């Protein structure tokens, strides 16, 4: 009997998370559109991470929509600054990748190595920047520095996180309907889940560039 009750509880819990992730993903898409995509992407993403952080930390009894809207408004400027930097650097990376084909010989391999290094560092920032922004209190510049340092300092967990992200992207590519309901929230859950474990390790052995944890 206890075995059945235990499994029933787990099934209910899984269903709750399926509903939560779908609802959060739809909120994320809605508020991206409210911000006319460009001005809404950063704030909506950061608000999604703030909600996910609460859930992962065990907080459940709060109004999701109103809390999401509150984070969206309060973090609007910082999240847009983060989004602007990420988009700008991403555009330059794409341009540089196209320009690589115009070079030949040793200089091409040198530029390719430099490009690969910059691209990897960019990915590290992409993985950690929003979890850091909702977990710690500091300036936007410090968030970027922290993302780089954490990504380099925890290579194994960063690799596992990156692999999990690729798996989610692959699944969403094969099943577009899943992408509509779970792309943003699924990636958010994975990166926030792994980041939380990293932050726990940091709290035991603090990295000096980090700051006070948010409540």
> Strand, coil or helix: what is 136?
strand
Question: Would the CA dihedral through 65, 66, 67, 71 be positive or negative?
Answer: positive
User: Residue 144 has what pLDDT?
Assistant: 97
d(C-alpha 93, C-alpha 102), whole Å: 15
Percent of the chain exceeding pLDDT 70 equals 92
User: Residue 108 has what pLDDT?
Assistant: 85
211 within a domain of the structure (yes/no): no
| Tokens representing residue 193 in the block | 């889940």
* Burial of 128 (C-beta count, 10 Å sphere; 0-12/13-18/19+): buried
214 within a domain of the structure (yes/no): no
87 within a domain of the structure (yes/no): yes
For the ranges 3-12, 23-32, 104-113, 134-143, the lowest mean pLDDT is seen at 3-12
215 within a domain of the structure (yes/no): no
209 within a domain of the structure (yes/no): no
168 within a domain of the structure (yes/no): yes
* DSSP annotation string for 98-112: HHGGG--THHHHHHH
User: Residue 211 has what pLDDT?
Assistant: 56
pLDDT above 70 for 63: yes
User: Residue 88 has what pLDDT?
Assistant: 95
Q: How many helical (H) and strand (E) elements, i.e. helices and strands, does the chain have? A: 8, 0
44 within a domain of the structure (yes/no): yes
pTM summary value: 0.91
User: How many distinct structural domains can be found in the chain?
Assistant: 1
Residues making up the chain, counted from first to last: 215
pLDDT tens for 24-55 read: 999 999 999 999 999 999 999 999 999 999 99
Question: Residue 16 sits in which domain range?
Answer: 2-204
User: Could you count the other beta carbons within 10 Å of the beta carbon of residue 172?
Assistant: 19
Task: Please state the rounded mean pLDDT for residues 74-82.
Answer: 96
150 within a domain of the structure (yes/no): yes
pLDDT band at residue 1 using 50, 70 and 90 as cut-offs: very low
């Amino acid at each position: 009997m206890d075995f059945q009750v235990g499994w029933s509880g787990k099934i209910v819990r899984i269903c709750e998370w399926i509903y939560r992730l779908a609802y959060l993903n739809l909120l994320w898409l809605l508020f991206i559109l409210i911000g006319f995509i460009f001005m809404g992407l950063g704030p909506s993403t950061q608000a999604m991470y703030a909600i996910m952080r609460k859930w992962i930390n065990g907080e459940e009894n709060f109004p999701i929509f109103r809390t999401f809207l509150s984070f969206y408004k309060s973090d609007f400027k910082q999240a847009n600054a983060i989004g602007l930097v990420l988009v700008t650097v991403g555009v330059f990376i794409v341009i540089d990748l196209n320009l690589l084909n115009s070079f030949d010989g040793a200089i091409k391999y040198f530029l390719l190595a430099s490009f690969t290094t910059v691209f990897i560092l960019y990915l590290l920032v992409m993985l950690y920047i929003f979890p850091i922004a909702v977990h710690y209190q500091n300036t936007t510049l410090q968030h970027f520095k922290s993302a780089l340092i954490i990504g380099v300092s925890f290579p194994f967990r960063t690799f596992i996180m990156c692999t999990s992200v690729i798996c989610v992207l692959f699944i969403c590519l094969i099943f577009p309907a899943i992408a509509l309901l779970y792309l943003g929230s699924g990636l958010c859950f994975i990166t926030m889940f792994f980041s939380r474990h990293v932050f726990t390790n940091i709290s035991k052995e603090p990295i000096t560039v980090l700051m006070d944890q948010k409540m």
